[in-house]
Amino acid sequence: MSEFERRLRAAMAATAGPAPSGLLEGIRRRHRLYVTRLTAALAVTTTGIAVAVPLAVHGIEGGHGTPRPVTSGLPGPTVPSRPHAGPNTALRDCQNANGGTLSSDWKRQSVHAGPVWFMFARPANGVQKPRPSTVAASALPIAVSNGHTAVVTAAPSVAGRFRFLASFNSANQPYTLSEGKRALKLVGCPAGPTGFDIPASYAPGLTMWWQGYVTNLRGCIPLDVRVPPATKVIRVSLAAPGCKT
Amino acid sequence: MEGAAKLAVTRAVAENSFEEFVAASSGRLFTMARLLTGGNRAEAEDLLQGAYERAYRHWGRICRRSEPERYVRQILVNASVDRLRRLRRRPEVPLLLDLEAGTGDSAGAIEDRDLLVRGLADLPPRQRAVLVLRYFEDLTEAQIAAVLGCTAGTVKSQAARGLARLRAAVDTAEPPGVGASEGNGAR
């Protein structure tokens, strides 16, 4: 060890002094603070999980046509309990509705079946065109009048060739028929005053969704609409390549 | 005295008493904290409290170890390195140490120590930690490497650089009083 190192060692040893008074109290105070923070963090985490799990389950079960910005993590007290979807049925309700503006003449270009609107799906428009492949996925806006419930299925003649997708991200995604649901249950938001002077492009009084589907049909897509409790079936025909109706 | 302190620490562990452990080890660890913080008493106390508090959280497990002081020392060193890294853009202003133990020494010796400890405070955090562990705690290079989580080679190079830097700092700022009373040639 050099002289310099010896000096350094001596200098360090010379700094030795008694521990500060109240050290134990300080440690205990700090520990209480730690426990308080930990408890608070646990409470926040628990609350977060309690909120996130129902939202995640909601997303998995109901899916989302187009991701919707969540404005609040906490469901408000006015949000009703979710309606039951039923077997092999995709559910769309007020909680996963998509907003958005439409062209002002959307009704002219849409297929109307009771309270249900298949928007821009009038065959003459041919707006919704599945890709010419074996199985094609696409999506269309569907709306139902507020306060109404409707169930949509493919017509029995094409039931095995058309499915509703619980969630839809892109037509480029390789969906298969087995991924879809045979039926689609649409539950509109509660009926209520829609306000004055709301432009038609906002589809006032309607609850709207961006609904994905997958099909290997060429031509028109026949769908059956039921509006419970009525048993009457309304058949509509949606646009697809080769549909001349 | 150091052996007595270690014996006291071991006894405290045997009695599973955190308070006794603190009482037995706090003097030495506080001095180390002061060296690591460049003599800043408040910072040192804060660091030490934090290290003890973390040990207190897991005291049931730690006290069963043969050397709980080593655990606290490791927390202390790592916390000081982290703290100094956070403060890297805000250079510290080293404070004069209140060298209670050196009151019987000559003024020149006190100034010399003060100069060395001030120089130590100017070192980068890891170099400072290496020198404190080496010359205050008397740890081997392997032990220092274990505390800092690096290789013995890194410890060696950090110690060499730290010493060289410290020597240069002391040489450039050598107080005339020290040279007059003890002789520059001795160094």
Q: Which of B17, B20, B135 to mutate to test the interface with A (most CBs of A within 10 A)?
A: B135
Residue B154: its pLDDT value, please?
93
Residue B135: its pLDDT value, please?
92
Residue B107: its pLDDT value, please?
60
Q: Which residues contact B187 (CB under 8 A, 6 or more apart)?
A: A3, A4, A7
| β-bridge partners, A236 | A223
Give the phi and the psi of residue A231 in degrees, each rounded to 5: -100, -5
Which residues of chain B neighbour A5 with C-beta distances below 8 Å?
135, 163
* Structure tokens that stand for B24 in this block: 């037995």
Q: Write down the pTM of the prediction.
A: 0.47
Residue A100: its pLDDT value, please?
62
| Alpha carbon distance A176, A193 (integer Å) | 41
Q: Is A9 in Cβ contact with B113 (below 8 Å)?
A: no
Residue A243: its pLDDT value, please?
67
| Alpha carbon distance A16, A10 (integer Å) | 10
Residue B163: its pLDDT value, please?
92
**Is-contact B5 A16, C-beta < 8 A?**
no
Q: Which of B53, B133, B182 to mutate to test the interface with A (most CBs of A within 10 A)?
A: B53
Answer whether B57 touches A (CB < 8 Å). Answer: yes
Residue A45: its pLDDT value, please?
81
- Domains detected in chain B: 1-90 (1.10.1740), 107-176 (1.10.10.10)
Residue A241: its pLDDT value, please?
59
Residue A99: its pLDDT value, please?
62
Residue among B119, B121, B130 at smallest CA distance from B166: B119
Give the closest of A8, A19, A34 to B116, CB-based: A8
| ipTM for this prediction | 0.73
Residue among A104, A78, A82, A101 at smallest CA distance from A93: A82
Give the phi and the psi of residue A139 in degrees, each rounded to 5: -150, 155
Q: Is B52 in Cβ contact with A27 (below 8 Å)?
A: yes
Q: Which residues of chain A have pLDDT under 70?
A: 54-55, 57-82, 99-101, 123-134, 169-172, 193-199, 201-202, 240-245
| β-bridge partners, A224 | A153, A235
Task: Supply the DSSP symbol for B142.
Answer: H
Residue among B107, B127, B126 at smallest CA distance from B168: B127
Q: What Å distances lie between residue A61 and A3, A67, A73, B179, CA to CA?
A: 76, 14, 18, 83
Q: Which residues of chain B have pLDDT under 50?
A: 1, 11-12, 14-15, 93-104, 176-187
| Alpha carbon distance A182, B102 (integer Å) | 89
Residue linked to tokens 């804060």: B46
| Alpha carbon distance A109, A117 (integer Å) | 10
Distance from CA of A49 to the nearest CA of B (A): 26
Residue B16: its pLDDT value, please?
57
Residue B186: its pLDDT value, please?
35
Side-by-side strand order, sheet with A183-187: A89-92, A183-187, A149-154, A221-226, A233-238
